[in-house]
Chain A
Amino acid sequence: MSLKVIMIKGQIWKFGDNLSTDQILPSRFMTHTKPEELAANCMAGVDPEFACSVHPGDIVVAGINLGYGSSREQAPQALKHAGVSAVVAASFARIFYRNCYNLGIPAIVCPAFVAEVNAGESAAINLEDGVITNMKTAKQYSFVKPPAFLLEYIRLGGLVPYLLQVTAATESENR
């Protein structure tokens, strides 16, 4: 397992409760699969300005039940291709949560941070220590770290590189 510490820094975009995958990427874009198409329409159902204003590394923060609704992976893929480095919410809908890790996007549950942070502020996330810092107020918030194998997904970039590594390791053991 790699020892690289996962540190994420970025500017905050803030959304409300029950932000659905229908809002993150509306149904009319469901036959789009190309990264640039998905990125260009990210958050089209809630904030048409988002896709043209988001910067690589930015962090999406939302209230309860982020990613509610459809399993459509186009939604977290749109966030990934738009450059979003992490999503932080008071709670997540389960398929969206899994999709994020499978794509290498950390999904962090931290209601206290969500309650106090404002759009436009910056934050730093230390995924191994389970700490998120509001860079403006310097206040730190702890969160429950994801299980070790999900941290490994993030280190490697998602489920696909993880499985490739597992396969490579098995092959070298069998050699």
Chain B
Amino acid sequence: MGLTVVQKILGAKAGQPSPVPGQILDVPVDLAVIHDNNGPLMMEQFAKLQIDAVWDPEKVWFVLDHHSPATTFRAAEHHRAMREFAARYGCRVFPNGRGVMHPVIAEEGLARPGFVVAGTDSHTVGQGVCGCFATGIGSTEMAGVLATGKVWLMVPETVKVTLSGKLSPGVAVKDIALFLLHEFGPQGLNYMALELGGPLIDALSLDERMAVAIMGLEMGAKNVFVAADEETLRKLGGRRDGDWFVTPDADAIYKEERNYDLSNLEPIVATPCLPTNGVPVQAVAGTRIDQATLGSCSGAFYHDLVQAAWILENRHVHPDVRFVIVPNTSQVVEKAARSGLIEKLIQAGAVISSPACGTCAGYEVGCLAPGQVCISTTTRNLEGRMGQGGQIYLASTLTVTASAVTGVITDPRELMGGDSVEP
């Protein structure tokens, strides 16, 4: 009987070559990443284990992305403690301002094809675009991983989604994600693996694939896998010894297979308070906004800044709107500074913050007062996420930027004149 990718990876690592869905395996971890939200509790739990070494410090990285650069006195203490822990056990810490865990791990080429990656962030699933198994765990479980190098995992069933077609003008990668979320619902993929592929995915950059894959968590996926190809290796800095290019067997058993041609996809907006609440942008067009933001692991890559600058060409942010951009890595900022994008965005009235999770959960930047409305490229629009009583709509960078210009939720196609070519 054929095997899915997740059966192959988890089985091979655990020494069980043909595991069946539902089987529980003790799986060795190849890469463990801890951020500053779950780090302090992880270290507290690790201390209770009374051991004097981390299982393999070479495989352990700390990321300061949720409260960076130390946004509160408490955060500063946590960051200091994480640095001390890393120094004591020989693990490594990305510097302040390096950016958000998942895109940074891809830029550094650390998540390799065939790896098992455990991260203390729920959106760790997005690292699966590197051709690996990547999933999120909590603080206590990460303390266990640091002690033993293993995590128990139930082998999941897999849903295979194949995307084809070419996106229409005005439609962007976040629209793909919001479409899939609407199709599957908030628990449609709970406990399941998602294999994502097809000509449309193949044509995307690794950053764009990650923007989509990260959102897989919002329908409950345990992991999201995209097979590694030339584009993956380009982003990961080339092939390395040990890379394992896993593909599913032709006769792999899937829980479900779905094919979508997205040529006719329209811009989508997810209304409060679930990312799965997608509606066509026209259904909410005209809703007044106070804030627009590009941010998070999923919504503030270089391609997002390019699209925002393109919409803002010869335009200005509406005077009643704050347009907050939190690029997701320092490489994005550097590239945007060199290419002149930063200058264009600032001249058009955008506010640019340092790379971090930022506005995604009101982490000390871009917060909402009760009754205020934000449209955002971030990952979640849950009740109170940017501040109690604030309302969050999720949309693509094109829709968010168009709305920042007009002050109301706007179909970006209305601002895209005649012969201009979309970046």
Of chain B, the residue at the smallest CB distance from A150 is B152
Interface membership of A11, Cβ < 8 A? no
What is the CB-to-nearest-CB distance from A149 to chain B, in angstroms, rounded to a whole number? 8
Within 8 A of B (CB), among A1-52: 18, 20, 22-23, 26-28, 30-33, 45-46
Interface membership of B50, Cβ < 8 A? yes
- The number of chain A residues touching the other chain, given as a range, is 35 or more
Say whether A64 contacts B187, CB under 8 Å.
yes
Across the interface, which residues of A come within 8 angstroms of B388, CB to CB? 26, 45
Measured CA separation A91–B274 after assembly (Å): 17
Of chain A, the residue at the smallest CB distance from B148 is A163
Interface membership of A68, Cβ < 8 A? yes
Residues A73 and B187 in contact in the complex (CB < 8 Å), given A22-B380, A23-B384, A163-B144? no
Interface membership of A135, Cβ < 8 A? no
6 A-B pairs in the complex with CB atoms less than 8 angstroms apart: A23-B382, A64-B187, A72-B38, A74-B37, A95-B138, A163-B147
Say whether A93 contacts B187, CB under 8 Å.
yes
Number of inter-chain CB pairs below 8 Å: 126
**Could you give, for residues 383-412 of chain B, a 1 whenever the CB lies within 8 Å of some chain A CB and a 0 otherwise?**
111011000000000000000000000000
- The number of chain B residues touching the other chain, given as a range, is 35 or more
Across the interface, which residues of B come within 8 angstroms of A134, CB to CB? none
Say whether B44 contacts A33, CB under 8 Å.
yes
Measured CA separation A133–B78 after assembly (Å): 43
What is the CB-to-nearest-CB distance from B10 to chain A, in angstroms, rounded to a whole number? 15
Measured CA separation A27–B380 after assembly (Å): 12
Measured CA separation A20–B220 after assembly (Å): 12
What is the CB-to-nearest-CB distance from B122 to chain A, in angstroms, rounded to a whole number? 4
Across the interface, which residues of B come within 8 angstroms of A106, CB to CB? none
Interface membership of A70, Cβ < 8 A? yes
**Could you give, for residues 214-238 of chain B, a 1 whenever the CB lies within 8 Å of some chain A CB and a 0 otherwise?**
0000001010000000000000000
Say whether A163 contacts B49, CB under 8 Å.
yes
Interface membership of A85, Cβ < 8 A? no
Measured CA separation A102–B46 after assembly (Å): 13
Say whether B137 contacts A27, CB under 8 Å.
no
